[in-house]
Homo-oligomer: A and B are copies of this chain.
Amino acid sequence: MFYAKSIAVVGASADPTKLGHTILKNLIDGGFKGDVYPINPKADEILGKKVYRSLVEIEGEVDLAVIVVPSKFVPSVLEDAGKKGIKNVVIITGGFREIGKEGEKLENKLLEIAKKYGIRIVGPNCQGINNTHNNMCASWPLITKKGKIAIISQSGTVAAAFADWLEMENFGFSCFVSLGNKSDVNEVDLIEFFGKDENTKVISLYIEGVKNGRAFMDVAKKCEKPVVVLKPGITERGKKAVESHTKSMAGRDEVFEAACKQTGIVRARDFEEFYDFSKALAYLPKLDGNKVLIVTSSGGAAILAIDVLEKNGFDVIYTPEELKEKLKGVTPDHAILDNPIDLTGDANAEMYKNVIELSKDYVDAILVIFGDPIEGASEVIEQCWRGKPIVVCYTGGSEVERREKAKMQSNGIPVFPTPERAAKAMVALRWWYGK
C-alpha cells in the first residue's frame, strides 16, 4: 500500500474543482515514479495521462487503487479491483457508515467483496494516504517534504493541519494516513506497520475511539518507537460529538489514560502538544536523566519554563560552584549564573556557545532560550548539536527569530515558540526515555 509502484485513480477528473482531479494531479506533481492510471469511462486523456474505462482494462500490474467515485459505484469498482488482482485500496468517498443505516449496509458490502479477494482497505470517507519517501501523495494538499513522523488520523483535517505545520516548519513527514471509517485498516495495523518502517521515527495518532482495546494495547506496548496520541472526547458532550463525527465510542477517559501509562504511549492533551511532542521525539536526541540547565537572555521566559519543568519531575539544578567559576570568564559582569544562566540583554551568539559547551557535562539536557533578536543563534546550536538534547526556544526575536528559526529547522533542529512549549517538549522526552 505505502510503497506501491503503480497506482490507479478511479474517478479521475479533468475538472480542477473535483477531488478526482486533485489526487491525480498531486500524484503527478509530487513526482511519483511509478505508473499512474486515471480511470474514467467518459474521458480519453487527463493531465497528459491515458485514461482507462475501468480497472480491468489496465494492461500492467496495479499495486494500489484510489477510489473517488460516488458511494453507490464503489462496490462495483471494488469488484473490478478484485478481478484485476489489486490488493490495496484507498476509498476517499464518503456516504457510508457515517451517514447511518443505509451507509452501513453499503460499507458492509465493501467488506464482503474485500474479503473475497483479499483486499485491504483504507477508508472509506477519508482523505487518502501520502508516503513522501515513495513520492506518493494520494491525498491533499500536496506535501512532498520527507520527514520522520508518520501521521495516522481519524480526522482528515486534523491530520492535514498537523502536516501543514510540519511543512511550514521544514520538517515534513514520512507518511500521512487518514483513517476515515476504519472499515478495515485501523490504528492497530498501522502502528505495527510504521513500527517497522525504516523512514519513520515517531508515530503520531489522532483517534476518537479504539475498536479493539486489547489489540491496541498489545501493539502499542510492542512498538519500539514513540507513539504520540491525541484523543478527545473527554467530556460527556465531547463523547457525543465523537459519536456523530465518526460513530466511534470515545470510552471512559480514565481507562484510556491508564492504558497510555501501561503501554508507554505519550499522550498529548491538545493539538499543540500533539505537534510539539511528535517533533521533539522525532528530532531531539535521547534524554538520559532529569538534570537540566537553562541558558537565556530573558529571565522571565526562563522562569515560565522552570515552573513547567519542576512540576514534571525535572531537576533544575543550582549551578555548581566549579561551573560558576568557569562561566564567569565567558559571561557579562551582570549576568546571573544561578541557573537559569541569564545572559541578559547583552547576550550574543558567542556567549551562548561558550556557556553551552562549558555546561554540557554537568547536566542531562540544556534548554536554550533566545529571548531577543540574537543573530547567529542557528550556527551556535548547530556547532553544539551532538550528544545530549539541546532544546531551543526562540521568542521575541521578530525578523531575526524567523530567519534563525527557519535555518535551524531546515537542519532538523526543532525550535519551540514559547518557553512553556519547549519545557513541555522536554517532559515528553522524559516520559518516553524514562519509562
Contact = CB atoms under 8 A, between A and B. Distances in A.
Interface string A269-312: 01110000000000000000000000001111111101111110
A245 to B, nearest CB: 4
DSSP majority for the A interface? Answer: helix
A345 interface: yes
Interface stretch (A115-123, A320-328, A395-403): A395-403
A168 B402 CA distance: 11
Contacts of A199: none
Given A271-B419, A300-B245, A233 B307 contact: yes
Given A340-B241, A419-B271, A303 B208 contact: yes
A113 interface: no
Interface in A378-409: 395-398, 401
B297 A157 contact: yes
Given A299-B241, A342-B245, A304 B420 contact: no
A236 B270 contact: no
Contacts of A161: 298, 301, 371, 395-396
How many copies of this chain does one complex carry? Answer: 2
Given A206-B300, A235-B307, A301-B158, A99 B272 contact: no
Contact of A156 (B141, B246, B345): B345
B316 A237 contact: yes
A400 to B, nearest CB: 10
Given A232-B304, A300-B208, A338-B244, A396 B237 contact: no
Interface of A: 94-95, 98-99, 127, 141, 153-158, 160-162, 164, 167-168, 206, 208, 230, 232-238, 240-242, 244-246, 270-272, 297-304, 306-311, 316, 334, 336, 338, 340, 342, 344-345, 371-373, 395-398, 401, 418-421
